[in-house]
């Protein structure tokens, strides 16, 4: 079990994304209350928890979109005082839970407006996802929810980030589409990327994650390997969103 709080700073070897005692406050409301975790490159960490737990605030704090206490370190470098665009240059990429694309920019512009996108990127992704190629010159606002989500993920990966922050990739999408997106997330194109996945639906999150942290009301309640946490009664108690699951009712495994 990875217990990030046990790792002293000098024991960290090699590249890693570290969130160290992150605190986010909105007025008198404390959304994130001292959460710590690490993301290794090429591994996926799922941050689970019910809504209002502080997952989105954690993601925004990591990207610098909101003021936060605590430290964010990329490969040992402290970027806590950096603006979001500066953190992007240090290797962080971000996909928000809503407003994921630039609606009036074309599909291609949504990817290539960034500095440092290789010329080979567009042909590569249109080969794998022809739908993007078909809509190359259409305003991104005309795409469906699922297509916009796909576009947003491709935008984030375009500059070859080291760490990708995904905020509620399932939000606002129909279940069929969510499944397709998560299939893609399990097999991301491009080089090795450490993924910080913020997700309310635990079964989806656990399905593709290596490690998992569960936060409720801004505090870490559980952490461990994803495989160990599937089906754990503690997690079930915090409501997984499994089909038919409702903690207020007795679980009925057999029908009368």
Partner 1 sequence: MDTRKSVAASGLLVLATAIIFSSTGFSPTTVGILSSALIIACLAVSVQMIYAMLGELSLGQSAIFGTAAFAYAVVTVNLHDPGLGILIGLLLALIMGAVIGGAVCNVTHAYFSVITYAISFLCGVIVRGSRELGGSEGLLGLDPLPTILTGFYNADILIYAGIAFLLSVTLLYFTWRSPIGLSLEAIRADRWLARSFGINTRLMVVVAYVLSAIPAGLAGVVFAGTGRYVGPTAFELYYVVIPIAVMALGGTRSLLGTLTGCLLLVAVPLWLSIGALESQILAGLALAIAVIVLPKGINDALLRGVRLVVRRTGRWKVGLPRRSEPAESSPIETTEPAFAAGPTAPLRASGVVVRFGGNTAVDSVDLQIAPGEIVGLIGPNGAGKTTLVNAITGLVPLAAGDVEVDGRLLTKVPAHGRARAGLARTFQTVALVEVLSVHQNFLIAQARGRVLRTGLRLPRLTAAAQEAVTLCGLGHLLDTKVSELTNLERRVLAVGLTLAANPKYILLDEPTAGLSPQDRVEFVRVVRRVVEHRGVGVLVIEHDVEFVTEIANRIVAMHQGKVIADGVPAVVLNDSAVVSSYLGGDWSRARA
Partner 2 sequence: MFFTQLVNGLIVGSGYGLVAVGLNYTLGLARVFNFAYGAFYAWAAYAGIAIGGALAWGGHVNYVAVCLLTLIVMAVIAALFAVGVVFPAITRSDMTVMVATLGVSIAMPNLAQMLFGSDATSLPSSLTQHNIHLDSVRINAQGLVSIVAALVFTTALVLFNNGTRIGTRLRAAAENRELAAASGVNVSLSHVVAVVVGIIVATIACVSFSPLTVVTTTMGNQVLIVAFAAIAMAGIGRLWGALIVGFGIGVFEAMFVAYVNPTYSSVAIYAALILLLLVRPKGLFGGH
> Which chain residues interact with partner 1 by CB under 8 A?
27-29, 50-52, 144-145, 172-176, 179, 239, 243-248
Residue 253, number of CB atoms within 10 A of its CB: 5
Is residue 159 near partner 2 by the rule CB under 8 A? yes
DSSP-H helix ranges across 143-250: 145-157, 175-185, 202-208, 226-229, 233-237
How many of the chain's residues bind partner 2 (CB under 8 A)? 27
User: Least Å distance between CB 74 and partner 2?
Assistant: 14
Q: Phi, psi (5° rounding) for residue 114?
A: -75, 150
Binding-site partner at residue 9 among partner 1, partner 2, none, CB < 5 to 8 Å by type: none
Candidate residues 113, 175, 179, 247; the one interacting with partner 2 per rule CB under 8 A: 113
The distance of closest approach from Cβ of residue 191 to partner 2 in the complex, given in angstroms and rounded to an integer, is 18
115 binds, among partner 2, partner 1, none (CB under 5 to 8 A by kind): partner 2
Task: Choose one: 11-19, 77-85, 169-177, 226-234; the region binding partner 2 (CB under 8 A).
Answer: 77-85
User: Which is nearest to 46 in space by CA: 243, 179, 223?
Assistant: 223
Q: How far is the CB of 39 from partner 2 (least distance, A)?
A: 17
Please answer whether residues 217 and 54 qualify as being in contact, where contact means their C-beta atoms are separated by less than 8 angstroms.
yes
Positive or negative: CA dihedral 79, 81, 82, 88: positive
**Edge-to-edge order in the sheet of strand 163-167:** 92-95, 163-167, 194-199, 44-48, 211-216, 219-225
Rounded alpha-carbon distances, angstroms, from residue 223 to 41, 60, 190, 227:
18, 21, 28, 11
Q: Does 155 bind partner 2 (CB under 8 A)?
A: yes
Applying CB under 8 A, the span of 101-109, 173-181, 182-190, 208-216 interacting with partner 2 comes to 101-109
User: Among residues 80 and 114, whose Cβ is nearest to partner 2?
Assistant: 114
Task: Give the span between the Cα atoms of 76 and 112, in whole angstroms.
Answer: 29
102 binds partner 2 (CB under 8 A): yes
Q: Report how far residue 148's alpha carbon sits from residue 159's, in angstroms, rounded to the nearest whole number.
A: 18
* Measured distance CA(51)–CA(53) in Å, rounded: 5
Residue window 25-64: x/- pattern of binding to partner 2, with contact defined by CB under 8 A: --------------------------------------xx
Identify what 239 binds: partner 2, partner 1, none; CB under 5 to 8 Å per kind.
partner 1
**Polymer length in residues for the chain:** 256
Interface segment toward partner 2; rule CB under 8 A; list 22-30, 36-44, 121-129, 151-159: 151-159
User: What residues line the site for partner 2 (CB under 8 A)?
Assistant: 63-65, 83-85, 88-89, 93-94, 96, 99-105, 109, 112-116, 155-156, 159
């Amino acid at each position: 079990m990875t217990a990030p709080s046990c790792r002293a700073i000098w024991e960290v070897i090699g590249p890693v994304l570290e969130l160290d005692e992150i605190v986010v406050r909105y007025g008198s409301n404390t959304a994130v209350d001292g959460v710590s975790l690490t993301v290794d490159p090429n591994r996926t960490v799922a941050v689970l928890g019910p809504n209002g737990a502080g997952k989105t605030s954690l993601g925004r704090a990591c990207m610098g979109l909101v003021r936060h206490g605590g430290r964010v370190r990329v490969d040992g470098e402290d970027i806590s005082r950096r603006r979001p665009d500066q953190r992007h240059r240090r290797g962080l990429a971000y996909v928000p839970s809503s407003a994921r694309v630039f609606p009036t920019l074309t599909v291609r512009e949504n990817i290539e407006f960034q500095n440092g996108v290789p010329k080979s990127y567009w042909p590569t992704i249109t080969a794998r996802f022809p739908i993007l190629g078909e809509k190359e010159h259409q305003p991104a606002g005309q795409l469906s929810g699922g297509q916009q989500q796909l576009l947003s993920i491709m935008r984030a990966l375009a500059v070859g980030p080291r760490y990708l922050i995904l905020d509620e990739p399932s939000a606002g999408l129909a279940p069929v589409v969510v499944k397709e997106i998560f299939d893609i997330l399990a097999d991301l194109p491009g080089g090795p990327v450490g993924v910080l996945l913020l997700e309310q639906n635990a079964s989806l999150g656990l399905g593709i994650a290596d490690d998992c942290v569960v936060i409720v009301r801004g505090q870490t309640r559980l952490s461990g390997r994803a495989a160990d946490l599937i089906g754990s009664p503690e997690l079930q108690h915090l409501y997984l969103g499994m089909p038919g699951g409702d903690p207020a009712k007795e679980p009925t495994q057999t029908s009368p």
